Amino acid sequence: MKTIKLTTWLTSLAVAGFLAGVGALIATLPAGEAWAATQGPRHGPPSPPGAMQFRMLLRDLDLNEQQRDTIREMLDGQREAMMDVHQRLFEVRKSLHDAAIRGDDESILRGLADEVGKIEGEAALAQAKQLSGVIAILEPEQKSKLGELRAEAESRRDDRRQRFREER
């Protein structure tokens, strides 16, 4: 039971970190145009999930100019590395999919699946570090407000999941 709670907490932390990094990045770009320009054709890696929601969360926290600048600098320093990780993840997932369709041996599939897990672990760690960096610059009131906003978002997510289960 405690392992499940810890795993859930760590997963939530990793997802929140990812959203923090991506959301803060998008919040610094004019109308998302620069972000879209970096994504290339729509057949490439998908845009990170939850970016818009986190941008809205950051806006609700009323960040001051210094906080925005700090977040922007932090993310600028990590942008290329994060894009490389997401590109590698996209490529390895595609390789795994292609190998499965070809009917490759389980050892090949397992090796590719292990590589996906390794890259996802790298991404989760980087995202958790980004989240820690963002939280470190928040004022106590903003941290409290972030907690409230996350609880509201989780409640809405749980409601959607429940409705989905009922519809099935």
Q: Which domain holds residue 110?
A: 2-28+49-149
Helix axis angle, 51-60 to 140-167, nearest 10°: 140
Q: Check if the beta carbon of residue 62 is closer than 8 Å to that of residue 143.
A: no
pLDDT greater at residue 7 or residue 112: 112
Rounded CA separation 166/104 (Å): 38
Q: Is 95 part of a structural domain of the chain?
A: yes
Which pLDDT value is given to residue 72? 82
Q: What is the pLDDT of residues 78-108, one digit of tens each?
A: 888 888 888 999 999 999 999 999 999 999 9
141 in any annotated domain: yes
Supply the pTM of this predicted model. 0.58
pLDDT at 95: 95
Residue 74 predicted with pLDDT over 50 = yes
pLDDT at 83: 87
The pLDDT, as a whole number, for residue 24 is: 47
Supply the pLDDT for residue 91: 95
Flag whether 98 is in a domain: yes
Per-residue model confidence (pLDDT) at position 41: 40
- 43 falls within a domain: no
Q: Is residue 61 part of a domain?
A: yes
pLDDT tens string 9-62: 555 555 555 555 545 444 444 444 444 444 444 445 544 544 555 566 677 888
- Could you tell me the pLDDT band of residue 129, with boundaries at 50, 70 and 90? confident
Structural domain total, the chain: 1
Within a domain: 154? no
Separation of alpha carbons 152 and 136, rounded Å? 22
**Which residues, at least 6 apart from 29, have a Cβ–Cβ distance to it below 8 Å?**
35
Decide if 34 is inside a domain: no
CA dist., res. 80 & res. 52, Å (int) = 20
Does 38 fall in a domain? no
